[in-house]
Amino acid sequence: MRLYDTCTRRKQELPPPPGPIRMYFCGPTVYTRAHIGNARPFVIGMWLRNWLRERGYDVTLVHNITDINDKIYDAAPGASAELAERATAWYLEDTRDLGLGMPDELPKASDFVPQIVHFIAELIDRGYAYAVDGDVYFRVARYPEYGRLSGQRLDQVEEQEPNPLKEDPRDFALWKANKPGEDTWWDAPWGRGRPGWHIECSVMAEELLGPVFEIHGGGLDLVFPHHENEIAQSRALGHEFAEIWTHNGMLQFTGEKMSKSIGNVTTIREALDEWGRETALVFFLTAHWSKPIDYSDETLAAAEARAEGFRDVFRGPSEPARDGEWERLAAALEDDFNTPDALAIMHSWRDHDLLRRALDVFGLASLAESEEAPADVRELAERRQAAREGGDFEEADRLRVEIEASGWEARDAADGFQLVPKR
């Protein structure tokens, strides 16, 4: 199994099964209902875990909740803790409704503050960090590898978090002193305050997976500064940290209709309400995880049609696949988890068992469940069939409308009719 690694800019081989494969995928900052784009790293992490388990790996997936962050203080001055708690519940509810199960661990930054304080103290002791006016900053100049992940030269690194008291404009915050209006704080040797965003992830990843782990994932927008800073903090203490960095492409909105109707923000909840979880998951399958993906009425309608195509396979007879078909699917997934290729292969199958097994990897086994029409709808369909056979097309048409009003569609089939839920 190979995955594209942002750090070395090439595909890297995973160790052979059973691994272990320890994965940390950066999760959301909780201050609002999560954007559908936030679902992408979650979905990719869960699929990857499913596939690796299918291949005999021992996998652990950690997905964090950033519940201490400037954005939360800004969104709810004086009441950030309540907002973070509410938005965490929304995120868990929305991702659970994707029907993929949940990650093995969902740590919250607020549960790890003592460990974060300890980590920062060690960085200060070793000369990698310094306190100034209650803040603590990482000394970027002390870590010569800085900039490797994001491809920046150390002497040209962009300024982060401007503050004239810093030794160097490139230095980034590990701890921020408590400010008026911030309702949460913790005590530390250098003063009352709260952790910076980057150190939260270094600490949660290492606390739950150890100082070295196989895969670190997250959106492409996290490469700099978030992940660059995670690497610097952890490697400064001699921890190897992540071996492979997988960054998923961003979700884009280009469909005109979409931007006219609801602007550029669609939440996971809205996407689920409008399209349903099966269509949303098939949509994510259509693009390679490392590439951008376009969210529009057109791309979602196309995903819905693909989902319906799979349902149709299960409405027809099963046709055994040729030997080696499963390995053909495996080859696509083991080469950088190529889901568009896997999807094309799955669309060529009429073998019910094989297709159900593949769909199950992506949380889509429900597409294989046959939907039984209720008895009264079956009776209407039988009467319609009889009317047609008797040449009473007016009555047949009236019954068709009645069947549709019950939420079903009668399709012509070789042995009479087939009832399919109307979508």
- The residue ranges that bind Zn ion (CB under 5 A) are 26, 201
Non-local (6+) Cβ contacts of 85 within 8 A are 67
Min CB(10)–Zn ion separation in Å: 23
Min CB(261)–Zn ion separation in Å: 32
Measure the CA–CA gap between 352 and 358, rounded to whole angstroms.
Answer: 10
Query: Which is nearer to Zn ion, 62 or 285 (by Cβ)?
Result: 62
Min CB(96)–Zn ion separation in Å: 21
Query: Which is nearer to Zn ion, 212 or 413 (by Cβ)?
Result: 212
Q: State the DSSP H helix or E strand holding residue 12, giving kind and residue range, or none if neither.
A: strand 10-13
The neighbour count for residue 17, using CB atoms within 10 Å, is 15
Query: Which is nearer to Zn ion, 26 or 330 (by Cβ)?
Result: 26
Query: Which is nearer to Zn ion, 63 or 388 (by Cβ)?
Result: 63
Measure the CA–CA gap between 387 and 368, rounded to whole angstroms.
Answer: 32
Q: Which of 56, 61, 157, 137 is nearest to 102 (CA)?
A: 61
Min CB(196)–Zn ion separation in Å: 11
Query: Which is nearer to Zn ion, 66 or 267 (by Cβ)?
Result: 66
Residue 176, phi then psi, degrees to nearest 5: -120, 130
Q: Are 293 and 249 in contact (CB under 8 A)?
A: yes
Instruction: Compute the half-sphere exposure of residue 173: CA atoms within 13 Å on the CB side of its CA.
Output: 19
Query: Cis link prior to 114 (omega < 30° from 0)?
Result: no
Query: Which is nearer to Zn ion, 201 or 343 (by Cβ)?
Result: 201
Q: Are 245 and 205 in contact (CB under 8 A)?
A: no
Distances (CA, A) of 56 to 49, 268, 338: 11, 31, 19
Q: Are 23 and 36 in contact (CB under 8 A)?
A: no
Min CB(216)–Zn ion separation in Å: 9
Min CB(226)–Zn ion separation in Å: 6
Min CB(243)–Zn ion separation in Å: 17
Query: Which is nearer to Zn ion, 1 or 113 (by Cβ)?
Result: 113
Q: Are 73 and 80 in contact (CB under 8 A)?
A: yes
Q: State the DSSP H helix or E strand holding residue 364, giving kind and residue range, or none if neither.
A: none
Min CB(27)–Zn ion separation in Å: 7
Query: Which is nearer to Zn ion, 193 or 219 (by Cβ)?
Result: 219
Distance spanning both ends of the chain, measured CA to CA: 38
